[in-house]
Amino acid sequence: MSAIPAVPAAAPADGRDVSRPVPFLRAARAVFDLSLEGMVWSRRSLLMILLLGLPAPLALVFRTFITRLPPRVGAFDFYGVVIAFYYVRNALPLAALFYATALIADEVEGKTITYLLTRPIQRVSVLAGKFAAYLATTLALALPAVVLTFFLLTTIRGWTGVGALVPDLFRDMGVVVLTLVTYGAFFTLMGVLLRRPVIPGLLFLFVWELLANAPGYLPRFTITAYLRSLIHHRPPDEGLAEIFAQVLPTALCLEAVGGMIVVFLAAAAWIFSNREYVLDQ
| 160 contacts another protein (rule: CB under 8 A) | yes
Long-range CB contact pairs, 59-66, < 8 A, 24+ = 59/148, 59/149, 59/152, 59/153, 60/152, 62/152, 62/153, 63/152, 63/153, 63/156, 66/156
- At its nearest, how many Å lie between another protein and the CB of residue 263? 24
Distance between CA 88 and CA 74 in Å, rounded? Answer: 20
Among 34, 218, 267, 271, binds another protein (CB under 8 A): 34
* The binder of another protein chosen from 4, 67, 216, 217 (CB under 8 A): 4
**Distance, CA of 179 to CA of 266 (rounded, Å):** 18
161 binds another protein (CB under 8 A): yes
Distance CA 231, CA 85 (A): 11
Q: For another protein, which residue of 31, 103, 178, 190 counts as binding (CB under 8 A)?
A: 31
| Stretch of 8-16, 178-186, 218-226, 261-269 contacting another protein, by CB under 8 A | 8-16
Binding residue (CB under 8 A) for another protein from 24, 25, 43, 258: 43
Contacts of 26 (CB under 8 A, 6+ apart): none
**Contact letters for another protein, residues 162-181 (x by CB under 8 A):** xxxxxx-xx--x--------
Does 134 engage in binding with another protein (CB under 8 A)? no
14 Ramachandran zone, left/alpha/beta (phi>0; psi -120 to 50): alpha
Angle between helices 123-154 and 92-100 (to 10 degrees): 160
Count of residues for the chain? 281
Residues 60-99 that bind another protein (CB under 8 A): 62, 69-74, 77-78, 81-82, 85-86, 90-91, 94, 97-98
Among 123, 185, 231, 257, binds another protein (CB under 8 A): 123
Among 88, 92, 102, 128, contact with another protein (rule: CB under 8 A): 102
Please say which residue, 34 or 260, places its beta carbon nearer to another protein: 34
- Using the minimum distance from each CB to another protein, give the nearer residue, 221 or 244: 244
